[in-house]
């Protein structure tokens, strides 16, 4: 079946208002399924994000012999424990998901299986050597040896050797793949992190009963160690609302005059909320209420009201805590007074698309003055954004969502060339925004 893109445009909208929730966190959802599969007994998951990316991970663990099924509102994974996976009889298809593919490489590395991993056109372009390099040191075999992108044929082993590995890029996916492989190795594996990245894997390992140590050194580096062979037990996991999805609603509320929106129960883990900190620094009226803990994570209700914004400098060390939010931050910056300078964005080039280039191009085509300087993106804001452009989304859900938000506050509608990919992370995006009062127009092609 050939791929049929679904274009859509968004239009200047009245005040957005309401109180709502967004679906479960994508990072935690993938991990809940994978950790459930690696544990003994049953894991029950509530609030699992039912997006294409996560549903692909559910199919993958099922194909490996740990069935993931849904009854009423609860997902259940029948775990197989360390070394208990079965040889799948189909290729493992990760669709658009880098997280699913890279974390699963760490899982498969420690199992006596030989798998073929495939993905869509976007995922098949993304670098896998960052994960394969450390996993090969541990004993994973790449059967199509010279390949560094999907499709990949991988052979795992129950005799993984532990390593000490300093992350060459600030990537939670690489950290997680090595730690998950380390859980299956003989001895202690240590990952050294120079910049903190999202820590859901560390939290979830502990939550499932594995011991893991995190030690901050005087050199600013953190050493995260896990000893292999610890059998984890199935757990009840409650997945909190995804701050990366909520970011689009928060941005829409801050940009559309008269808006007042509350998003309930959002994950506010420090390693994930750089976008919200930046919005506050820009002058946004954004407050946290009802802070509480759920399933080992902090959550809160986030209230956002329309605000006049000013440009800010976003330091490079903040990038890992808001890596997925730069496209929407750039859209917000287009409406702020003065320049917003976002530094340290090299990793944006290897996301679902080259997000640095795609974001800059989307701004430009909508009349926004923006430029890329090395790894920095500079946006010169204005209180009047013309809009009227057609944005190329390059199979990237976050580019599509970010520019649809622009259209709610720009003078002319903003059209994106495809919205199909939104279902990979946030299938409810359009419906929830409509509920708040935002306007979309389907585009006949």
* Residue 111 annotated in ligand binding: no
Q: Is 424 in the site for ligand S3P (CB under 6 A)?
A: no
Q: CA-CA distance, 422 to 395, in Å (whole number)?
A: 9
Q: Is 104 in the site for ligand S3P (CB under 6 A)?
A: no
Q: Is 222 in the site for ligand S3P (CB under 6 A)?
A: no
Query: Using an 8 Å Cβ cutoff, are 369 and 380 in contact?
Result: yes
Do strands 313-314 and 338-342 pair parallel, antiparallel, or not at all (unpaired)? parallel
Q: Is 172 in the site for ligand S3P (CB under 6 A)?
A: yes
Distances (CA, A) of 389 to 9, 97, 340, 365, 439: 10, 28, 21, 5, 17
Query: Using an 8 Å Cβ cutoff, are 57 and 34 in contact?
Result: yes
Cβ neighbours for 345, distance < 8 A, ≥ 6 positions apart: 319, 326, 356, 375, 376, 377
Size of the site for ligand S3P (CB under 6 A): 10
Name the minimum Å distance from CB 389 to ligand S3P: 26
Name the minimum Å distance from CB 283 to ligand S3P: 27
Give the range of 73-81, 151-159, 168-176, 372-380 binding ligand S3P by CB under 6 A. Answer: 168-176
Exactly one of 51, 56, 96, 173 binds ligand S3P (CB under 6 A); that residue is 173
Give the range of 136-144, 166-174, 261-269, 276-284 binding ligand S3P by CB under 6 A. Answer: 166-174
Exactly one of 80, 198, 235, 415 binds ligand S3P (CB under 6 A); that residue is 198
* Residue 70 annotated in ligand binding: no
Q: CA-CA distance, 129 to 135, in Å (whole number)?
A: 9
Q: Reduced to 3 states, what is the DSSP secondary structure of residue 346?
A: helix
Name the minimum Å distance from CB 274 to ligand S3P: 12
Give exposure, 219-249, as e/b (b: 16+ Cβ within 10 Å). eeebebbbbbeebbebbebbbbbbbbbbbbb
Exactly one of 29, 57, 78, 171 binds ligand S3P (CB under 6 A); that residue is 171
Kindly write out the interface string for residues 119-138 of this chain, putting x where it contacts ligand S3P by CB under 6 A and - elsewhere: --------------------
Q: Would residue 120 show up in a list of annotated catalytic residues for this protein?
A: no
Nearer to ligand S3P, 77 or 204 (CB): 204
Cβ neighbours for 198, distance < 8 A, ≥ 6 positions apart: 27, 172, 269, 271, 272, 320, 321
The beta-strand segments (E) located in 316-387 are 338-342, 369-373, 376-381
Q: CA-CA distance, 421 to 429, in Å (whole number)?
A: 11
Q: CA-CA distance, 278 to 78, in Å (whole number)?
A: 41
* Residue 298 annotated in ligand binding: no
Query: Using an 8 Å Cβ cutoff, are 307 and 233 in contact?
Result: no
Name the minimum Å distance from CB 319 to ligand S3P: 9
* Residue 412 annotated in ligand binding: no
Give the range of 167-175, 187-195, 307-315, 333-341 binding ligand S3P by CB under 6 A. Answer: 167-175
Name the minimum Å distance from CB 260 to ligand S3P: 29
Q: Is 176 in the site for ligand S3P (CB under 6 A)?
A: yes
Query: Using an 8 Å Cβ cutoff, are 43 and 239 in contact?
Result: no
Name the minimum Å distance from CB 195 to ligand S3P: 10
Give exposure, 101-112, as e/b (b: 16+ Cβ within 10 Å). bbbbbbbbbbbe
* Residue 371 annotated in ligand binding: no
**DSSP of 244-278:** HHHHHHHHHHHHSTT-EEEEEEEE--GGG-HHHHH
Q: Which single residue brings its beta carbon nearest to ligand S3P?
A: 27
Catalytic position from the list 324, 396, 417, 418: 324
Site residues for ligand S3P, 83-102, by CB under 6 A, read 99
Name the minimum Å distance from CB 172 to ligand S3P: 4
Annotated active-site positions, please? 324
Binding-site members are: 26-27, 31, 98, 126, 171, 173, 324, 351, 355, 398
Rule CB under 6 A: which residues touch ligand S3P?
A: 27, 99, 171-173, 176, 198, 323-324, 347
Binding-site members for phosphoenolpyruvate are: 26, 98, 126, 173, 355, 398
């Amino acid at each position: 079946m050939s791929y049929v893109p679904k274009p859509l445009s968004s239009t200047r909208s009245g005040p957005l208002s309401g109180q709502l929730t967004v679906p479960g966190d994508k990072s935690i959802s993938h991990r809940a399924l994978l950790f459930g599969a690696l544990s003994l007994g049953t894991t029950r998951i509530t609030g699992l994000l039912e997006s294409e990316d996560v549903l692909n991970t559910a199919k993958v663990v099922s194909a490996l012999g740990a069935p993931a099924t849904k009854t009423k509102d609860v997902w259940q994974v029948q775990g197989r424990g360390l070394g208990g996976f079965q040889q799948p009889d189909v290729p493992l298809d990760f669709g658009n998901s880098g997280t699913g593919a890279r974390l699963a490489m760490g899982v498969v590395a420690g199992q006596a299986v030989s798998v073929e991993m495939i993905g869509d056109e976007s995922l098949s372009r993304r670098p896998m050597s960052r994960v394969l390099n450390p996993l090969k040191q541990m004993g994973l075999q790449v059967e199509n040896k010279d390949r560094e992108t999907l499709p990949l044929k991988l052979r795992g082993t129950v005799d993984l050797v532990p390593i000490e590995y300093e992350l060459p890029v600030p990537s939670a996916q690489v950290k997680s793949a090595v730690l998950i492989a380390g859980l299956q190795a003989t001895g202690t594996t240590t990952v050294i992190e120079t910049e903190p990245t999202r820590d859901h894997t560390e939290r979830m390992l502990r939550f499932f009963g594995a011991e893991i140590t995190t030690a901050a050194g005087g050199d600013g580096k953190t050493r995260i160690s896990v000893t292999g062979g610890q059998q984890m037990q199935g757990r009840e996991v409650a997945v909190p609302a995804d701050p990366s999805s909520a970011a689009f609603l928060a941005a829409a509320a801050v940009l559309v005059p008269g808006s007042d929106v509350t998003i309930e129960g959002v994950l506010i883990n420090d390693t994930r909320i750089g976008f919200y900190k930046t919005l506050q620094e820009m002058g946004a009226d954004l407050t946290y209420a009802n802070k509480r803990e759920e399933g080992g994570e902090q959550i809160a209700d986030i209230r956002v009201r329309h605000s006049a914004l000013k440009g800010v400098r976003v330091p490079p060390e903040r990038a890992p805590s808001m890596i997925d939010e730069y496209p929407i931050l750039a859209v917000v910056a287009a409406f702020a007074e003065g320049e917003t300078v976002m530094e340290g964005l090299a990793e944006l080039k290897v996301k679902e698309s080259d997000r640095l280039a795609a974001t800059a191009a989307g701004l430009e085509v909508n009349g926004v003055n923006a430029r890329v300087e090395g790894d920095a993106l500079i946006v010169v804001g204005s209180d009047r954004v013309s809009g009227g452009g057609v944005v190329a989304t390059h199979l990237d859900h976050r580019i599509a969502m970010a520019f649809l938000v622009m259209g709610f506050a720009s003078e002319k509608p903003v059209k994106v060339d495809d919205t199909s990919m939104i279902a990979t992370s946030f299938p409810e995006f359009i419906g929830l925004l409509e509920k708040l009062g935002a306007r979309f127009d389907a585009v006949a092609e």
